[in-house]
Structure formats: C-alpha cells, structure tokens
Structure 1
Amino acid sequence: MNFTHEQEPAINSFARIVKLVAFAGTGKTTTLVGYAKARPQCRLLYLCYNKSVEIAAKQKFPPNVTCKTAHGLAYASIGSKYRHKLTSNLRLTDIARVIGSQNWELVRSVQETLNNYLASADDDIELCHCPVSKLKTERMKRAAGSIVEGARQLWLQMCDIHNEAANITHDGYLKLWALSKPNLRDRYDIALGDEAQDINPVIAGVLAQQAAYGMGVVVCGDGHQMLYRFRGAVDALNATWLDKAEVHYLTQSFRFGSAVAHVANMVLAFKGESRQLAGLGGETRVSKALPTDLEHRTVLCRTVVGVIETALANVEAGAKIYWVGGIEGYNLQDIEDLHALSKGWRDRVKGKKLLQEYPDYDLYKQIADESQDPEMNRSIKIIEQYSADLPELFAKLRRNAVTDELEATITLSTAHRSKGLEWDAVQLAEDFTFDPFNPDNEKEPWIDEMNLLYVACTRAMRVLAVNSTMLEIMKEFVDRRDGRKPNTPMVFRKKQAAAA
C-alpha cells in the first residue's frame, strides 16, 4: 500500500513514545494499521474507544494486534468478580436509598461527585470532585463536606462484593482496575491509544503507567474532535508525559474535497488552529439545503430531542429511517413509559422500576426540576410537546426504522454518535443553537460546541448543507478576511471565581 509523506514517518518511527495528531478523514486508522504491519514480531494492544470500534478494528488490524476496550481489560481482571451486582447506571433513587436521604439536590450532587471521581486519575474522593456550582464560596465548600461523605459512603458500598444493595457500574470496576496500577508489559510490547482527545483521565493514567513501565506507547487523535468533556474526558494529547514524544501530523483528508475542507478550516481558524486541513478527496459542494432528488441523505443533530423531532417530521412522508446506534438507543421506550405514567396508565408501563421509584408523574417532574437531571428534563419536553399522539407516532417510527442503512432514505444521528462515520450527503440540523460570537460565552463550552460543528461538517464526502449557526461562522470569517470587521481574538466570559 502507498502511504503519504505524512504517514510514512509515523509508520517507520523508532521512537518509544509517539504522538500522532490526525485531522478529520486523514487516514489515522490506515496509519495505525501500517504501523502494526511494519512490526509483525511485536505484540500490540489497540485500546479502543468503545465496543463498536473494537469490532470494526478486529477486521482491519493484523493478527499481532489485540483490540480491546479499557472496560474489556478491566472486566477480565476485576469486573467479572462483580457481575452479580453490575448495573449500567445508578439511578437517583438508588443513590438516595444507599445514603439514606430524600434531599434530591444532595443526591444529585453525590451522583455528580462520584462520576467525577470515577473519571479522574485520583486515588480518593475529595472536595475537588464536587460540582463546581457547590463550591462558589467558603461556606458552600464547608457545606459540601456532606456531599463528599455521601459519595465516599456510596463508593465504599459499591466496592463491597457482598453488598448487593449498592450496585457497581462499569466505570466503577474500571476505576478499581486503574487503582490497581496494572502492568501490561508482560502481554504487550506496544499500546496504541486511539481517540486520545476524548479519553478520561483514568484511562489516560493507565496509558501513562504503561509508558512509565517501559512499554512502547502510540497515542493518536485530534483535539478539535474532543466531544466528551461533559463526561469527564480530557485531551490526553496535551499530557505532560508526552512532552518528549515524537510528534507527527496528518493534515491531508481523502474523505472530502476542498469545499468541505474550507468550511472546516473556518471553524478551526476561530479556534486558533494554524495548520490547514487539506481536502484531497472528490469534488464537494456546500449549500444551504440538500438537493431534493437525493436517494439518501443524513441529518446530524445536536441533541437526541433533535433526532426524534427530525424523525417525526419525516416519518409522515413514509421515510425509511436508519438510526445510528439503533432506534432504541434514543430512549423511545423509556419516554413511552413516562408518557403512560403522565396519563395515569400504570398498566401500560413496561419498565416496572419506574413505578417503584416514581409513584406518580408529579414526583418525577419534581425530582427532575430539583436535580436538574438533563435526561429527565429532556424526556419531559418530548412528552409535553407530543402528548396526544405520542404512542401512535412512536409506533410508526419503529415500523419505518431499518437496520440496514442501504435500505434507508434518511439516516439520523447526533453529532456525538457520528464521529468516525461518513456519508455522501449531510445536512446539519437547526438545533445547534449556540451563539458562536456571544462575548458572554465561557471558553470550554464554546470549544465543545465548535468541536461538534467541526465533527459534523467533516462527515460529508460530497454535499454538505450547513445550518444557520455555521452560516454565521462563515459570514464572520469572510468579513474578517476581507477587512469588513477587525480580526480580533475571541473573548470569553470568565467562570465565576470562588468568593472568599
């Protein structure tokens, strides 16, 4: 296989620690496969971001590469001991029961504190893991001691194999594995850490440990595609242990042509990126709307609500819809159960745990309001908007859902789920509603939203239909380039400093 002048130096590198910075569509996976094939005598571990990436990777990498998620490694070592008390998530009512409180604001804070700890590289639960909103003043910090104590109590019971009253999550056993300081050098010579911009500190810490143990480590990713800060992710590409790494850049994209690359570069320019993404793929076109005669199109939304609303808007015309990740991954059944509860139709609720935890819809709304749980509030919004016809509409969505994308007339996804995928024709939905040039923006949320737009735009291989937010960015870029506006750096509102 022929590699580019950017790929070859990375593939043939003799450095023990390598950092590969790969822009969208620039052949990152191809480069890693080439790296592995160039070392047939080495045992490589490809640390995958999720299970679907693991399955796809096993089809691409040579036999000397083991493809595993961090959770998969952790389960084999520690998680299997907890299989009798594993849960996908801890509900607020589960936490309330364990810590013995019905103060839902406290319960929510304990949940956030524990999640922050599980995603961190820290050994113990401390005040720094509490929600920032609970640490604004010294008085609030002192009061937050009860949050820390509740999180410690919850974690202690989760870790107790014999305590089945407190289940443990998958992130829980992953944390326990990381705390054990695993040494993978006996099984592997080199670790490949993919999507390094979106791994959380606990996994980044495991990679750093392997480097400290003398193992070869290659980390790769694109900081502009960091999407999961809200889950505690960090850009491991900026870790201090990589300061002496050999660095290689991939900037030539063969996914799309110059038009889409130009749009992506506008986003990157406002983020301060000095390198240009080159579009070397086929001819591409950027417009305000997709052509009406397309056999298939993809709509990328900012939110799950946006996906469902787009589906509802298209299903009446008989559209065959492919849902990236599967239709049930968009919580339709949970929303239907909650809708039945809101109508008092308790016998129609399939998830009986909902009835056990919330005897009526008013309590659900009360907890959602007091805890500000985004999933709960999102479900309430859908129910109240489509209340009368929701069961019939959802039934039609299921009838028109297809599992083979080749049968679909429209593919729907959130921008988050679209990462790593590509389509001929992509439309950006109008639920990317942030104001990119509002001086009241805080820096990190602004970066996250710009990253989402960058990822969404770079999924298009032939035609990209931009939304009003992207049009505003394009107009601002042109105005500054042509001198109609001063080319001043972005200014952000600073986070509120903690008062003394």
Structure 2
Amino acid sequence: MTDIARTINTQDWELAKDIVSTLNAFMASKDLELQEGHFVRFQNHRTLTSVQQQYMSKALNLTRDVWEKMVNIQDRSVSMTHDGYLKLYQMSQPDLSQRFGAILLDEGQDVNPVIANLVQIQKITQVTVGDRHQQLYRFRGAVDALNSPSMRDAEKHFLTQSFRFGPAVAYVANVILSFKGETIPLQGLGQPTLVKRALPDDLPHRTYLHRTVSGVIENALRLVNQNHRMQWIGGIDSYSLRDLEDLFYFSRAMNDQVQQRKLLTDYADYDQYVAIAKATQDPEMLRSIKIIENYPDLPQRIEQLRGASVTSELDATVTLSTAHRAKGLEWDFVGLYDDFSADPLSPDIDAGKRDDELNLLYVGVTRAMKILAVNSLVIDILQRFKDNRSVIASIA
C-alpha cells in the first residue's frame, strides 16, 4: 500500500486502501477493462451521493493510472504482481487450441473469475472437476465454474462414493447438505466410522478443526497444559499469535510493546475495539477479547504454545487447523471445535452465507476416517433435520 500511496503522491491511506482493493478486484475479475463494479467499497450501495460518486470516480482514475504503470515495463514505480501477470495473460485472450486438445480445470467450485474465463473462452474440450458443496472462498471472490452458463449443456458425471469414511459420517454429511437442497446422497463405503460427542481420551493422535483462527488459539491454550505436542496446519506463525499478543498489550495500554502499529491507528483505545467487536459481532474479534479476558498471562502462554509446537504430524499428539485449511486432508480422529457460531439455518441469514457455513461444516465432518466428534451446532442441525431425540441419543 505504501508503494501505491507514493505513486499517487498521497498520504490519504483510506484512498490508497480503496485503490488497492479496486485493483485486486479488477485483476481477479473476468473483465477486460477496469470499471465501477470493481470499486469494492460501494458495492453494496444501491445509490450513491454526489460526494460518493466523485470519490469513486477519483479512485477509479487513480487505479487506472496505477495499472498503467504496473504494465509499463519501462516504469518501475509500481511492481507487477503475480495476479497482474495472470490478468495480462487473460486479457490477451489466448487461443490454447494451437498446442492442446483439451483443458482440465480442477477445484472448479472455487476458482478465481479470471481463471474461469481463461478456461471458458477456449474452443477445445473442457473438463471441469469439483464439488459445489466444497466452495469455501466465495468471500474472496471465488466463483463456482461448475454452475457457469458455459457449463449449462455440459455432460455431467457424479462421483458420490467415498472410501474415506463409513455410513455414519455420510449420514451426517447428507443431513447438512439436505439444507442446501441436495438430493443425491453421498455414500460412505469406507470402514465403519463412529460419530460421537467427544473424542476418547486415550487416542495416540487427534485433530481439531475450527471455524476461526482465534478458535484455534483458544483451543491450543487449553491443550498446552495437557502436555500435548501440537502441529499447526500451515505452521504456527500463520495463526496471528503476534497480533493477539499486540492486542493483549493494547488492552493493558502498553502501546510501546505493540508491533503492529495499525492497531494503534485504527482504534483510539481498547474500549473502542471492544465496542466495535460487539457492534459488528465479528467472531474473530469477540473470541480474541475472550482469550485476553481469560488469560492475564497471555504472552507467557504464547511462549508455551511455541515451545509445544512441532512441524510434523509424526511427532504430534494433536493437529490443529481451521476447517478452511483442512480441505483435501484427512485424519483418523477428528473433532469439530465449538466456535462455529453462525447458525446456517437461521431465517435471518442470507442464502449465500447459509451455503458458505453449511459447506464449511460439510468439509469439516468429512475429514474423519475412524471417529468424528461433532460440535453442538452439528447436533442441533441433526435434531432439526429429524426432530427426534433418538437421533441425538444414538451419538455416544
């Protein structure tokens, strides 16, 4: 962002941020020209005031200037990014038929629009593989290429059998997907899988999946006192422990210990941070506040976490991950942590958000090969699917 601010000669960081987000939205889109629809800040506004329209026009013009500098190989003031290379290639509308007879797009349910367009403009045979119920990154602008207009007349084949787990896990997965309107059942043809409320204590290794990064940290702080060796999927440094430590110092007015200075500029004080968290009901912020309240010695606890961290599952007694990062992975014994706070069946939730949350639960429950421990939200969904106490009682 500092490069952008320097290029347009401004210290207006809000404007610089809007230019960065607009540029990223354009580079991720299928569009060949930068336009108003890429201005993220006002995307949910039905109408704009004159002041907002003028601000958007200014930001768009500056974004176009930045893009021109990026693509100009003689101008080094703004670096070209990997997303920029890809965008330029898509804008060239390449014809791949000169070299290839077919193209396969994997993970088609969660693709960047620019990649989807790059594939769909080809005249060669197209094969798109994916599971629409595993679309997890819609919040990043990912689209489901399986449901694009170009696939409307495509020949469709369904792979509905899994050898990872048995019928019990398949049943839970099918209940979750039923609330999305899925009618084709998933079959669990693997070894019998147990579904429980909690994992047994005597397991050699277990995996916990979480909705939020702060949920991972909260659970890790609980587990570290049980002398577990913990593997963090993606590495411990990718779980924002330093950010949480900064927030701890911020809550104590020890601002000289805060490394992330943006925290100090975004919030007047910790009270304002708490007020905004409560007003927005942001799950990451709220759980971070809870951790700080529960652990007055948090910096020392974080040092404990680092000391208990291992890089290989071979050395771990516990693996920790968010459900997003767990996609494509599998473990013998999996437990869902109770930080899946959004109720996907609430009448107040919009359809897109509902599907996002159901997809995440579906991915989570289908990671288990031997024992799945479901959380309270999944139990509630099972009960609402079949308002019958025997369903719950059958879960040991």
Report how far residue 244 of structure 1 moved. Answer: 2.9
Mapped pair 1:142 → 2:53: yes
Alignment match, 2:373: 465
Alignment match, 2:327: 419
Alignment match, 1:125: 34
The amino acid of 1:331's aligned partner reads S
Q: Percent identity?
A: 46
Secondary structure of residue in 1 paired with 2:226: coil
Gaps of 5+ in 1: 1-90, 483-500
1:5-63 Cα offsets, whole Å, 9 max, x none, are: xxxxxxxxxxxxxxxxxxxxxxxxxxxxxxxxxxxxxxxxxxxxxxxxxxxxxxxxxxx
CA distance in 1, matches of 2:86, 2:237: 26
Cα 1:377–1:283 shift into 2, 3 Å: closer
Secondary structure of residue in 2 paired with 1:218: strand
Cα 1:379–1:116 shift into 2, 3 Å: farther
Greater alpha carbon shift after TM alignment, 316-325 vs 195-204: 316-325
Secondary structure of residue in 2 paired with 1:427: strand
Cα RMSD of the aligned pairs, angstroms, is: 3.2
Q: Is the 8 A contact 1:339 1:387 kept in 2?
A: no
The amino acid of 1:343's aligned partner reads M
Given candidates 56, 62, 84, the residue that maps to 1:172 is: 84
Report how far residue 398 of structure 1 moved. Answer: 1.8
The amino acid of 1:152's aligned partner reads R
Cα 1:277–1:233 shift into 2, 3 Å: same
CA distance in 1, matches of 2:7, 2:180: 44
Cα 1:161–1:330 shift into 2, 3 Å: farther
Cα 1:233–1:153 shift into 2, 3 Å: same
| TM-score, normalised by the number of residues in structure 2 | 0.84
1:193-204 equivalence runs, <5 A = 193-204=105-116
CA distance in 1, matches of 2:172, 2:30: 37
CA distance in 2, matches of 1:261, 1:303: 24
1:163-182 Cα offsets, whole Å, 9 max, x none, are: 44433332222212221223
1:345-364 equivalence runs, <5 A = 345=256, 358=261, 361-364=263-266
Alignment match, 1:343: 254
Secondary structure of residue in 1 paired with 2:49: helix
1:74-102 Cα offsets, whole Å, 9 max, x none, are: xxxxxxxxxxxxxxxxx4x4444444444
Q: Is the 8 A contact 1:339 1:383 kept in 2?
A: no
Gaps of 5+ in 2: 391-396
Alignment match, 1:113: 22
Alignment match, 2:393: none
Q: Number of paired residues?
A: 377
CA distance in 1, matches of 2:5, 2:291: 26
Mapped pair 1:285 → 2:187: no
Q: Is the 8 A contact 1:201 1:234 kept in 2?
A: yes
Alignment match, 1:455: 363
Alignment match, 1:188: 100
Secondary structure of residue in 2 paired with 1:272: coil
Q: Is the 8 A contact 2:218 2:291 kept in 1?
A: no
CA distance in 1, matches of 2:104, 2:57: 40
1:399-425 Cα offsets, whole Å, 9 max, x none, are: 211112022111111111100011111
Report how far residue 162 of structure 1 moved. Answer: 4.2
Secondary structure of residue in 2 paired with 1:247: coil
CA distance in 2, matches of 1:381, 1:394: 15
1:240-264 Cα offsets, whole Å, 9 max, x none, are: 2222322111001111111100000
1:16-27 equivalence runs, <5 A = none
Q: Is the 8 A contact 1:335 1:379 kept in 2?
A: no
Secondary structure of residue in 1 paired with 2:174: helix
Given candidates 254, 266, 269, the residue that maps to 2:175 is: 266
Report how far residue 387 of structure 1 moved. Answer: 7.8
CA distance in 1, matches of 2:332, 2:246: 37
Cα 1:362–1:278 shift into 2, 3 Å: same
The amino acid of 1:222's aligned partner reads D
Alignment match, 1:312: 221
Alignment match, 2:394: none
CA distance in 2, matches of 1:427, 1:383: 21
Secondary structure of residue in 1 paired with 2:170: helix
